[in-house]
């Protein structure tokens, strides 16, 4: 039972991070039906910039928490600028082009950003300064770190903030109107180009914080980290229903839980020794409580893609997404 609660906590931590990144995919998709493949790289830039700043700040005597704060304050505007430039330079000129063109451009931008990051930060795995105090709480047999609590708390706060912007402000109304029908939104006096840019910038700000948190959580950053993380968050967005904002939140958390629980139990489930039918074949290996595990927890990364495939096969509109026919 202990491992169950432990994995729930780990899953919630991961899941809330996925949710924050998934929001960036889903908001952009909702408004211009583009899968912004470069979004993962914006997260990576957030992590890299934060890492550089946190290291420098720590090196020059900032207390650990203050260093992290400075890192966040540097990463957010930097990523917002990056998100704005992406939209302005790479996607806006293709607004009227066939949909394949911006999609391919997005893949291209993702590669470009990775290469730029590699030139700036080298191809090495960089480690975050490990100077945050590690505080652990024991709850129901699971150990929860203060960092995990901070990550979950911060992510939930950002989700609430985003929901407020989208559902309660004038900009949010313009975003939802544009997402539904840009032509009619124009007729309401909405500057659609600005609303689209704002959507990219908000998504990038969330990505910056996610990048920093992921970096601190794993203790490292690498120029390719955005690719895996991005694909997982994209899977989470699809799981929730791409284009649907609450869907991205739910999808992210669910995916985190699936991954953590999957990683926690896959070893047990694929231990051939526990299934009597193989006894004859694996006698020697299984003797004296031995085991023969087919898939270990290192298969954690597979779950996101299994989920993605299952959703695409059985419910392409996602958990909360409307049926595709409705958006004719």
Binding site for other proteins (CB under 8 A): 170, 173-174, 176-177, 180-181, 183-192
Dist CA 50 CA 208 (whole Å): 8
Element (H, E) at 143: strand 142-145
Smallest separation, CB 21 to other proteins (Å)? 24
Q: What is the Cα–Cα distance from 266 to 105, expressed in whole angstroms?
A: 38
Residue nearer to other proteins on the CB measure, 99 or 194: 194
Which tokens sit at 28? 């952009």
Nearer to other proteins, 143 or 169 (CB): 169
Contact by Cβ (8 Å): 67, 54: yes
Question: For the chain, first and last CA: distance in Å?
Answer: 48
User: Cβ of residue 26: shortest distance to other proteins, in angstroms?
Assistant: 15
Q: Which is nearer to other proteins, 136 or 187 (CB)?
A: 187
Q: Is 221 helix (H, G, I), strand (E, B) or coil?
A: strand
C-beta of 197: minimal distance to other proteins in Å?
14
Nearer to other proteins, 187 or 306 (CB): 187
**CA distance linking residue 6 with residue 1, whole number of Å:** 9
Q: How far is the CB of 99 from other proteins (least distance, A)?
A: 20
**Residue 33 or residue 270: which is nearer to other proteins going by CB?**
33
DSSP tag of 89 = I
Task: Please list the alpha-helical segments (H only) found in 87-130.
Answer: 100-121
Shortest CB 184 distance to other proteins, Å: 5
Shortest spacing between CB 161 and other proteins, in angstroms: 20
Neighbours of 296 (CB within 10 A): 12
Dihedral pair phi/psi, residue 300, rounded to 5°: -50, -45
Nearer to other proteins, 50 or 174 (CB): 174
With tokens 């924050």, the residue in question is: 20
């Amino acid at each position: 039972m202990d491992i169950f609660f432990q994995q729930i906590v780990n899953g919630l931590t991961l899941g809330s991070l996925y949710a924050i990144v998934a929001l960036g995919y889903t908001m952009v998709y909702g408004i211009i039906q583009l899968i912004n493949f470069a979004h993962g790289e914006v997260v990576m830039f957030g992590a890299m910039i934060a890492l550089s700043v946190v290291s420098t700040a720590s090196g020059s005597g900032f207390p650990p928490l203050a260093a992290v704060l400075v890192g966040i304050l540097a990463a957010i505007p930097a990523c917002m600028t990056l998100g704005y430039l992406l939209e302005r330079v790479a996607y806006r000129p293709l607004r009227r082009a066939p949909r394949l063109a911006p999609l391919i451009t997005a893949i291209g931008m993702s590669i470009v950003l990775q290469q730029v990051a590699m030139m700036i930060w080298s191809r090495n795995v960089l480690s975050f300064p490990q100077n945050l105090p590690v505080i652990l709480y024991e709850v129901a047999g699971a150990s929860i770190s203060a960092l995990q609590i901070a990550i979950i708390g911060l992510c939930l706060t950002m989700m609430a903030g985003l929901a407020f912007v989208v559902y309660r402000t004038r900009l949010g109304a313009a975003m939802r109107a544009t997402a539904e029908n840009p032509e009619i939104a124009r007729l309401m006096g909405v500057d659609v180009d600005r609303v689209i840019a704002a959507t990219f910038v908000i998504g990038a700000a969330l990505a910056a914080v996610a990048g920093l948190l992921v970096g601190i959580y794993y203790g490292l950053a690498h120029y390719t980290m955005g690719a895996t993380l991005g694909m997982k968050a994209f899977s989470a967005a699809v799981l929730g229903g791409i284009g649907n904002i609450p869907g991205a939140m739910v999808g992210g958390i669910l995916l985190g839980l699936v991954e953590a629980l999957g990683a926690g139990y896959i070893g047990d489930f694929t231990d051939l020794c526990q299934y009597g039918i193989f006894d004859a074949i694996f006698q020697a290996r299984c003797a004296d409580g031995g085991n023969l595990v087919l898939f270990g927890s290192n298969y954690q990364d597979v779950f996101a893609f299994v989920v993605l495939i299952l959703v695409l096969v059985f419910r392409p509109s996602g958990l909360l997404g409307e049926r595709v026919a409705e958006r004719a």
